A and B are shown apart, each in its own frame.
Chain A
Amino acid sequence: MQEPRPFWNPYVGGVVLGLVLLGSFLIVGNGLGASGAANRLGIGAASVVAHDAVAANAYFSEYVGPGKNVLDDWLVFEVLGVVLGGAIGAYSGGRMRRGITMGKRPVSPWTRLALAFAGGLIMGVAARFGRGCTSGQALTGGSVLSLGSWVFMMCVFAGGYLVAPLVRRQWR
């Protein structure tokens, strides 16, 4: 088995990421995002299973009104690209393998998956209140000096540091 390629220097990674973000603003006029696509995928799946209930919901109905396709959105295609780009990066970097990433002290795979799901669940709610996540709000809004984005970003770090000691066993 070949050794995987080393990761980029974080400052170099940051500059490249910043240029991708800048390119996005210059070309299409908006920044990057992620959680909005998950929201739309979820609403799309739910409307297949229970169309009437979704259309009757005050929040979901904004996305599924007549003549609207919930998946016909810039973010959905951008996240499709993220998956492709991530796969290209992992494959060419020799890191493409099925597995579960965990901290130094191994926990059972099901514990790790349950924690990953639980964290995702919290972030799904959080990203709706925040109108975005680390990509759409902190990174994108931060770079255009939006007030709400900077407040959001500081709160993300605050929330993470506050709870980190409680879940230390998982990572250290």
Chain B
Amino acid sequence: MMFPLSVHFGHEAGLILGTLIGIGFGFTLERSGFGQAPILAAQFYGSDTRVLKVMFTAIITALVGMTVLSGVGLLDMSTLQIPPTFLGPQIVGGLLLGVGFIVSGYCPGTSWVSMASGNWDGLATILGVIAGSLGFGLAYPLVGDFYLSGSMGVVRLPQLLGVPQAILAAGVVAMAIGAFLFAEWVETTLARRRNEAPPAASAATRNKVFAGLGIATVLGLASMALPAVTVPEAPVKSVAAWDALALAKALVERPGAVQVVDLRAPETCAEKRIPGAMCRQAGDADAAFLSDLAATRTLVLYGDSDIKDLPAGARRFGGEIALLTGGFSAFETGILAIPALAVGATAEALADWRLRSALGAWFSGTKVQAPPPVVRPATPVPSDAPVRKGGGC
């Protein structure tokens, strides 16, 4: 697997690359006409369906590209950051976003482009989005329960429907092209009825794009015929044993280098797990999904206590494996519960306690307790001391 390239560079390089990618994003949105509210709003009155055309063409271009690359074994889809599903909140969020879109004339992304083109209404939208986000945070005690409801984790349609991605991608491309042709029919019909000119667009260019996407889709389907890249079952791999402290430090210092999987029953895992750990699915005794995980990360497995036998999926995993000594209970008592410090502790014990309480605070989200205040002998303040006025520099 060659892509994504992110395993080869650090956080700062990622930020610089992010800025460059953003420049491409902003430039493309501007050239597509998305810096001007009336063009975006026209989508909802059927006079110019650019939003639909640009957005869906972009989705199918990226989708088909990823399908071909993963089909020929160059891209590992499981390493991509995919937004998790929260069904109820996302239905409400989507409906509200649509309402805000037609009221403001922009979506959050295009408002930045509009502002960059000099439009005050773009700036007003950005300020609104910022205020709305802050309002959400302030109302969090009221809406937090709903916000967290309907959590389903990362759910991708190929896994949900049990249909290979290449076939689904072909279906989405066909659906999109159908939607484009329908949208163009709506545009011309409404324009005739309103005595307006339909949006000018070259049919030849459109047909070339459709043909290109069609060819890429067929390539994606053809890649299904390639032999699947499977990692052979290694005889016996050396499996490292990590204690809770080592795992906690790895999670804080190199979160991208480890992949933690909870092998306890799915219900137990759903209730409480090591932060960031994946749960197994019900009925998956072999934990078959483990063999599909990215071999670039160390796979850390844990159970209730020590794991004796590796599940079959883990034996087919290509990378390094570590088992958590003592299982979840060791992590819970050693890291999640901040240990008490005995009076008269040695310097070593004190350093260890500092580390553990910092880690405990990190994982449990509570603050580190401040050490008891040092009582200082009171010094009398001379009454004729000059009173400082005003601020500093």
Contacts and interface: CB of A to CB of B under 8 A. Distances in A.
B26 A119 contact: no
A11 B58 contact: no
Interface in B89-118: 89-109, 111-118
Given A133-B107, A154-B94, A159-B95, A57 B124 contact: no
A42 B22 contact: no
Contact of A162 (B32, B66, B98): B98
Contacts, number: 562
Interface stretch (B125-133, B222-230, B280-288): B125-133
Contacts of B87: 147-148, 151
Contacts of B26: 81-89
A39 to B, nearest CB: 4
14 contacts: A12-B205, A17-B28, A22-B65, A28-B17, A74-B18, A78-B25, A82-B26, A87-B26, A99-B118, A114-B124, A125-B136, A156-B98, A171-B105, A172-B47
B165 A145 contact: yes
Contacts of B121: 100-102, 112-113, 116
B289 interface: no
A86 B116 contact: yes
A18 B69 CA distance: 14
B307 to A, nearest CB: 29
A42 B132 CA distance: 9
B339 interface: no
Nearest to B55: A139
Given A77-B15, A120-B100, A138-B55, A101 B30 contact: no
Interface of B: 3-6, 14-33, 35-39, 41-45, 47, 50, 53-63, 65-66, 69, 75, 77, 79-87, 89-109, 111-122, 124-138, 140-141, 143-144, 146-147, 152, 154-158, 160, 165, 168-169, 172, 180, 201-202, 205-206, 209-210, 212-213, 365, 367
A160 B37 CA distance: 14
A58 B97 CA distance: 24
Given A96-B117, A141-B83, A133 B109 contact: yes
Contact of A151 (B56, B63, B94, B115): B94
B86 A148 contact: yes
Top 7 closest A-B pairs, CB basis? A124-B132, A120-B128, A81-B22, A119-B104, A14-B57, A159-B98, A18-B61
Contacts of B152: 147-148
A60 B206 contact: no
A25 B66 contact: yes
Contacts of B155: 146-148
Interface string A132-164: 111111111111111111111111111111111
A153 B58 CA distance: 14
A27 interface: yes
B295 to A, nearest CB: 15
A25 B37 CA distance: 29
Given A135-B109, A172-B45, A124 B136 contact: yes
A68 B312 CA distance: 39
A10 B83 contact: no
Nearest to A24: B21
Nearest to A21: B62
Contact of A155 (B14, B17, B95, B180): B95
Interface string A47-76: 000000000011111000110000010110
Given A81-B26, A87-B117, A168-B45, 13 more contacts: A7-B31, A9-B209, A15-B61, A18-B59, A22-B65, A59-B144, A79-B22, A116-B37, A117-B128, A119-B101, A123-B96, A131-B86, A146-B85
